[in-house]
Structure 1
Amino acid sequence: MKKKKILISMISLIVVCFLLSVFVLELNKTKNESVRVVSNISDAQIVVQSVDTAVEQEEQIAEETKIDKPVAEAIKERVREVIEGALDFFIKDKKIVSIGDSLTQGVGDETDSGGYVGILNHTFEDNHVNITIENFGKRGNRSDQLLKRLEQEEIASAISEADIVMITIGANDIMKVVRSNYTNLNMEPFQKERIQYLERLTAIFNKINDLNPDTQIYLIGFYNPFERYFGDIEQLELILDNWNNAGKAVTEEFDNIYYIPTKDLFSNSAIDLLADDNFHPNTDGYKRIAERVLEYLNEFSVENELPIEDIE
């Protein structure tokens, strides 16, 4: 019982620390308000200082070993290699629509490339591949908010003409539970919210299919942003796994919807893949997501027996 209380206390500390950055970045709280929250939780200060120290050490290592060419150019070159190995996907003009939260918007990408969507878009352009991507990512979006946004004429029209729709959604649904229960975290509220999330996710898929029954839909899964510093807390890992597995199960109920995992891309990484907020991916993190998306787009194109031709 004592061990359980300690775990719950540790999780609460983690959440408080994360909420500090979320309140600053997502909700535009004032600096004074954030300071007051921290001053009331001395243990949280210790955790934040430990994380800051670790981040500084990682940045120093990265600075000592960085390559000469700009990060953005190195990323484009790597993704270009993936494109060259996926010729069958790029045999014809395609239109892609990306919708969802801050991961679609590209928050955390220090090169301002637009996150994984921007990296893909720029690489297509550099390789003269006639694929257009419209980005409707919106920071802070939850599944209920995305469902309402699908009613907007601009988004509905874009989806109705899209060959592919890519989605990142659900992280803010999880954080909604965190914000409401951070003083007494346990599994129950996450389980309840997951059921509602799956209902809304199904509604999102149905709405997209109503707008365009011929499109392919890809749901991009969650990664664990807490692994580096709090990987020993099993509850966090279990929550993310449960939500990932549930989302994947929903996609399997549809013939034209596929699940793209990302958790393994960020697990046990030798380099830092998160932005300064220790939550969103940095450019390297988004690069890995872009590569994974390309791999899955190509894989499912092969399954659909698209003819293979050379790109001029």
Structure 2
Amino acid sequence: MQRKKAVIIFITGLLFVCFFLYLLQPDHNQGKVESVKAIASNDQGKIDDTGDTTAAEEEIQAELVKENEKSITEDIKDKVREVVEGALDLFKKDLKIVSIGDSLTEGIGDETENGGYVGILNHTFEDNNLNITVENFGKKGNRSDQLLKRLEKEAISSAIKEADIVLITIGANDIMKVLKSNFMNVTMEPFKEERLAYIERLRSIINKINELNPETQIYLIGFYNPFEQYFGEIKELDLIIDNWNEAGKSLSEEYDNMGYIPIKDLFSDTNISLLADDKFHPNTNGYKLMAKRVLEYLKESNEETEITTVEIET
């Protein structure tokens, strides 16, 4: 039994490293380019098999490839702008929202390339003529220590000084760092130690934001478990996510102007595809659920002065 568990942990560790290395790749879009090239190459091969291609055949083929690319692009972009008509929660006054953090803030995995949950929020506000600005300072791969340093940058600090709301996603890469260092022997202990250090860095981030703008409302967005679908039987993975979520939630309760937004349940026990092709980041559907959850919590926390209603179609 112990040997079997050790093998499972070893395999899981290797998979985590594969995901970690994937996250460090500079350009996920290259795969899409190669796929289009492959399609064009295959189609060209079919024509060549029947004999020499004519100029007319080449022109027809080029048009077919172009139409195919256009159709795919339009279908994907249409997903972003789906909102519920006639049932929108409207903000009572002009607001400025600043989002900071890691790849979940940047929107990695969103096949529309429109900025994930932050982009969906922005499109929702624009489509409904609401004077709400949303600035995105997400950066793929950011850990909590790196985000803390980035708060010193003029563009980010200036935006926070003017922000009514600050949204944060951070910590997933802190977890990945522990996995990378311990993939041959995944145990709970190093995650517990790093969680304590993470919370102290997160506290410094919150204190810095409050130093820049004590009037802003801060929301920390929690973690989900991207491995549940494939490794649901390995309870340690779920326990790690739960422990880190609980730590973030507890920290948020220390501040009067800070709230915690859970998202783990959105990605649990679902038959709907909510993850991107990398099986790690959300796809557009996953980000839409995140955007809807964020709006629900903004409404709950600010109902008396800020918001009357906003909803995104799932």
Task: Name the SS for the 2:96 alignment partner.
Answer: strand
Q: Quick one: which amino acid aligns to residue 182 of structure 1?
A: F
Give the aligned partner of residue 291 of structure 1.
292
SS of equivalent residue, structure 1 residue 279: coil
Q: Check if 1:114 corresponds to 2:103.
A: no
How many residues align structurally? 264
Q: Please name the residue that 1:226 is paired with.
A: 227
Q: Residues 182, 307 of structure 1: CA spacing in aligned structure 2 closer, same or farther, 3 A cutoff?
A: closer
- For the pair shown, which has the larger CA radius of gyration, 1 or 2? 2
1:170, CA displacement in angstroms?
0.2
Distance 1:213 1:74, change over 3 A: same
State the AA in 2 paired with 1:22: F
Q: Does residue 9 of structure 1 match 2:12? A: no
CA distance in structure 1 between the aligned counterparts of 2:291 and 2:185, rounded to whole angstroms: 37
1:86 is aligned, of 85, 89, 109, to: 89
CA 1:28–1:125: 2 relative to 1, 3 Å? closer
Residues in 1 aligned to 2:293 and 2:272: alpha-carbon distance in whole angstroms: 17
Unaligned runs of 5+ in 2: 28-73, 310-314
TM-score by length of structure 1 reads 0.80
Q: Which runs of 5+ in 1 are unaligned?
A: 30-68
Which position in structure 2 is the counterpart of 1:60? none
Shift of 1:22: 2.6
Letter in 1 for 2:21: F
Is 2:78 the counterpart of 1:73? Answer: yes
**Alignment match, 1:19:** 17
Is the 1:86–1:295 Cα contact (8 Å) retained in structure 2? no
Residue in structure 2 matched with residue 170 of structure 1 by the alignment: 171
User: Aligned partners of 1:129 and 1:173: how far apart in 2?
Assistant: 36
Report the Cα distance in structure 1 between the residues aligned to 2:108 and 2:194, rounded to whole angstroms: 25
Percent of aligned pairs sharing the same letter:
61
Residue in 1 aligned with 2:276?
A: 275
Deviation of 1:204 after TM superposition, in Å, equals 0.4
- Residue 77 of structure 1: CA displacement? 2.3
Task: Please give the secondary structure, in 2, of the residue aligned with 1:165.
Answer: strand
Contact 1:220 1:260 in 2 (8 A): yes
1:13 Cα offset (Å)? 1.2
**Which residue of the partner structure matches residue 133 of structure 1?**
134
Letter in structure 2 aligned against 1:73: D
CA contact (8 A) 1:119 1:287 kept: yes
Do 2:252 and 2:258's aligned partners in 1 also have CA atoms closer than 8 Å?
yes
Partner of 2:44: none
The two structures have a TM-score, normalised by structure 2, of 0.79
> 1:18 offset after TM fit, Å?
3.1
| Gap change, CA 1:91 and 1:20, over 3 Å in 2 | same
Please list every run of at least 4 consecutive aligned residues from structure 1 whose deviation after the TM superposition is greater than 6 angstroms: none
Give the deviation of 1:126 after TM superposition: 1.1
User: Do residues 252 (structure 1) and 262 (structure 2) align?
Assistant: no
CA distance in structure 1 between the aligned counterparts of 2:99 and 2:271, rounded to whole angstroms? 29
1-structure distance, mates of 2:308, 2:282: 34
SS of 1:24's equivalent in the other structure is helix
